[in-house]
Amino acid sequence: MSVPHQPAARELPRYCLGPNARVAISVAVLLHLLAVLGEPLRMFTQGRQPAAPDAGVVRRTLGPYIDFAYLHHGYFFFAPNPGPSHLMDIRLIDADGSERHLRLPNHRAQWPRLLYHRHFMLSEFLFQLYAPPISPQAVTEGAQVPDDWRRDRALFEHVRSSMEKHLAVRYGAERAEIQLMEHRLPSAVEVFEEHVKLDDEKLYILLPDEVPLAGPTMPAPAGSAVGPSSAVNRTPPVSQPTTPTPMLPHQTSEEVKP
């Protein structure tokens, strides 16, 4: 009885990487991991107490690859220590001199939640550009104003002016003025002993926002009219709870307060 013929098992070719190829792959993997960490490290060092100021070098060096591979995720979350949020306190001035007030974002007025989130991102974006004013007393005493502050302040005013023009057109006002507002979180004592609510008005603080310089015009992006000569004299620095009343719960995004 004949045994059926069985084909011999095929041997798969073995590929062996040389030392140079292994080093190249290891370097590529290492650079990719650095690119993944580049944006979180950069965001971490943007805090008021940076832990590693030189971490931004990684983000700048690997920036083209990070943007190409879509790796610019901060991976920052609110817990366990959420910080304050920021809003825009808006004053609408009509042609007859009457005023209306609007506060953005407003979770009661903006629905669905995605619409509220978009407004929230706008207010936080403006806060990221916020350059606090320099003390007028320091200027009168002859203190030198840094060029970085002039540039940052000009950029902040340029973006804010664009938002104000849009709001004036959107709500049919003669002009609009935006002042940033910080919504701080209540302390443990305020919550458990004073029973302070999260939406208590004393938790809303207007950020100081006036240009103290009356001298040379600050540099501004091309096409903008930003500087002390064109800036509106806004509300003086405030370190106590704000006075504007909040939008009523039944208001919609189309309504503002007179």
Instruction: Tell me whether residue 12 is in a domain.
Output: no
C-alpha distances (whole Å) from 86 to each of 120, 179, 213 are 8, 10, 26
Beta-bridge partners for 85: 183
- Asked if residue 243 and residue 197 are part of one domain, the reply reads yes
Instruction: Tell me whether residue 181 is in a domain.
Output: yes
- What's the pLDDT tens digit per position in 123-136? 999 998 898 887 65
- Asked if residue 148 and residue 63 are part of one domain, the reply reads no
- Asked if residue 58 and residue 180 are part of one domain, the reply reads no
| DSSP label of 173 | -
- Asked if residue 100 and residue 26 are part of one domain, the reply reads no
Instruction: Tell me whether residue 64 is in a domain.
Output: yes
* Tally of domains within the chain: 2
- Asked if residue 91 and residue 64 are part of one domain, the reply reads no
Say what the pLDDT of residue 247 is. Answer: 40
CA nearest neighbour of 207 among 86, 47, 100, 82: 86
Instruction: Tell me whether residue 168 is in a domain.
Output: yes
Say what the pLDDT of residue 38 is. Answer: 84
- Asked if residue 244 and residue 165 are part of one domain, the reply reads yes
Cis peptide before 112 (omega within 30 of 0): yes
- Asked if residue 63 and residue 133 are part of one domain, the reply reads no
- Asked if residue 187 and residue 123 are part of one domain, the reply reads yes
Q: How far apart are CA 226 and CA 236, in angstroms?
A: 19
Instruction: Tell me whether residue 90 is in a domain.
Output: yes
- Asked if residue 254 and residue 128 are part of one domain, the reply reads yes
Residue where one domain finishes, among candidates 35, 68, 101: 68
Does residue 44 contact residue 55 with C-beta atoms inside 8 Å? yes
C-alpha distances (whole Å) from 3 to each of 6, 8, 102 are 9, 14, 92
Residue where one domain finishes, among candidates 44, 68, 92: 68
Question: Do the strands 175-183 and 204-206 form a parallel or antiparallel pair, or are they unpaired?
Answer: antiparallel
Instruction: Tell me whether residue 172 is in a domain.
Output: yes
Instruction: Tell me whether residue 85 is in a domain.
Output: yes
Domain range enclosing 35: 19-68
- Asked if residue 254 and residue 201 are part of one domain, the reply reads yes
Say what the pLDDT of residue 251 is. Answer: 42
Instruction: Tell me whether residue 5 is in a domain.
Output: no
- Asked if residue 121 and residue 24 are part of one domain, the reply reads no
- Asked if residue 136 and residue 27 are part of one domain, the reply reads no
Say what the pLDDT of residue 137 is. Answer: 61
CA nearest neighbour of 57 among 73, 80, 78, 34: 34
pTM of the model: 0.55
Note down pLDDT in tens along the chain; length 258 residues: 565 666 655 665 666 788 898 999 999 999 999 998 888 887 777 655 555 667 778 888 888 898 888 887 777 666 667 788 999 999 999 999 999 999 999 888 888 888 888 888 999 999 988 988 876 565 555 556 677 788 888 899 999 999 999 999 999 999 999 999 999 989 889 999 999 998 899 999 999 876 544 444 444 444 433 333 333 445 444 444 444 433 433 344 444 544
